[in-house]
Amino acid sequence: MEINNNQFPQWEVFIQTKSGSPFEHAGSVHAADKKMALQNARDTYTRRNEGRSLWVVPTDCIVATTRDEEEEFFDPSLDKTYRKPNFYKMPKGTNNL
């Protein structure tokens, strides 16, 4: 992962735009420590009032699926249309649900 080793470690940035809404991945930053990671995230991703709260996570702490696992993880759900809510009739007056 570490191609250019004169860089600070990488962190993933998650932003919450308003109280109660989910934290969403915004991108990544490089930083030497936790405090710097938060500040760099703030300066890089919230300059235009995008956030109310920030998470930063060391990139190597993120556990991710790999390409090899894609088929067995995700393909089985392809033909399970009955898991989708399309077959339920919407009651009248709930157009905006």
Partner 1 sequence: MKTKDALYNFCLRLADNNLVLGQRMAEWCSRGPILEEDLALTNISLDLFGQAETLYEYAVLLKEANITADDLAFLRNERQFYNSLIVEQPNGDFAFTIVRQFLYSTFARLMCEALMNSNDESLSGYATKALKEVKYHFRHSSEWIIRFGNGTEESKNRAQFALNELWRFTDDLFVMNDIDHELISVGISFSLDDIFGQWNFAVQEVLREANLFTPERFNVIKGGSNGIHTEHLGHMLSEMQYLQRVHPGAKW
- Distance, in Å, from the CA atom of 62 to the CA atom of 84, rounded to the nearest integer, reads 29
- SS3 for 94? coil
Question: Quick one: which segment of 15-23, 34-42, 68-76, 86-94 binds partner 1 (CB under 8 A)?
Answer: 34-42
| 62 close to 39: Cβ distance less than 8 angstroms | no
Cα–chain-centroid distance for residue 86?
Answer: 27
Q: Taking the complex as a whole, how short is the minimal distance between the CB of residue 52 and partner 1, in angstroms?
A: 14
- Could you say which residues in the range 47-66 bind partner 1, by CB under 8 A? 47
Stretch that binds partner 1, among 39-47, 56-64, 71-79, 81-89 (CB under 8 A): 39-47
Q: Are 24 and 15 in contact, with CB atoms under 8 Å apart?
A: yes
Residues near partner 1 (CB under 8 A): 7-8, 29-33, 35-36, 39-40, 43-44, 47
